[in-house]
Amino acid sequence: MASKVYNMTFDNGKDKLVIGAGTEYGIVSYEGFDNTNIDVELEEYQFDGGKIIRQRIGSRAMSVHFHCKQSNIERKFFMEGFFSPHKPGTITVNNQGHYRQASYIVTSLEDKQENLHSGIEFELQMKSPEGYFADPDYTLVEMNSWEGGFTLPSDLPFSLRHRGIAQKVIINEGQADTPVWVQFKGPATSPKVRNVTTGLHVQVATSLTEGQTLHIKTDENRPEVLIEENGIFTNGYPLITDATSLEMRLVEGDNLLKYESADANQINQVNVLYKNRYLGV
């Protein structure tokens, strides 16, 4: 099973460690990197069968058994410090060129070295609260565009600069619905991004001034609404219309998104960022 994974990169915010193919650390075995964290609650009937009460993706438990051929006490000490429970981080798995990432917190690091002359060997136990793997980087989609106008020298006739069709089809190529990160840049009057496919939207209840950017993240576990101005972030919750602005997702497959504003002539920038989610690697 371990041969399927090319390597794993751990990043705890201070240091990085790569294990697997192409490194001095070999992966012996691993578990929890597939979709085994599905939680299903059933109500059993008195007769045959039952009823599904709830089903969800639970937190993910992962383990990696790895070794190094060299017996080096300094490497052993480094591993113990790197995989500290006080240093949560991210793990990025490269499976034959497909990169998927999850957060982790260490729950156990067991020394498996057989004797003082054998290479160092560890059994690492981790948990990921999100449950899903995701793309390491965001995909950015610009929702608004401007067309027409002219630059000198120009050829007549020309058209006045105007807003293009402010809608985009975003294809969620992952294996689950995924949250979005919407950036509204001022000046803007009640800007709104609507997912026509689902009917849900993200909307600003008031106006944004020049130099302001409203960040809205609709992650189920860590929603955020922040207003950015001059590099300083403050609470932006009073600027959204209602709590449903934190419920917009991209469903699997095609999503038709539309941008709307109370003032169609304002030249403001609106970005939608997202990461595809996966049930395993």
Specify the range with the lowest mean pLDDT, choosing from 79-93, 100-114, 137-151. 137-151
Q: What is the pLDDT of residue 113?
A: 81
| pLDDT tens digit sequence for 205-217 | 888 889 999 999 9
Q: What is the pLDDT of residue 205?
A: 85
Whole-prediction pTM: 0.84
| 12, 87 contact by CB (below 8 A) | yes
157: amino acid identity, one letter: P
| pLDDT tens digit sequence for 230-241 | 999 999 888 887
Residue with tokens 């599905």: 38
DSSP 8-state class, residue 148: -
- Kindly state the tokens that stand for 264: 């169609």
**Residue 267: pLDDT over 90:** no
Q: Which domains does the chain have, with CATH numbers?
A: 2-134 (2.40.30.200), 139-278 (2.60.120.880)
Round the average pLDDT of the chain to a whole number and report it.
86
Beta carbons within 8 Å of 273's beta carbon, 6+ residues apart: 138, 139, 140, 141, 180, 181, 182, 183
Burial environment of residue 190 by CB neighbours within 10 A (0 to 12, 13 to 18, 19 or more): middle
Task: Quickly state the pLDDT bin for 159 (edges 50, 70, 90).
Answer: very low
Q: What integer is the mean pLDDT of 109-128?
A: 87
Residue with tokens 């189920």: 220
| pLDDT tens digit sequence for 46-86 | 777 777 777 778 889 999 999 987 778 888 899 999 999 99
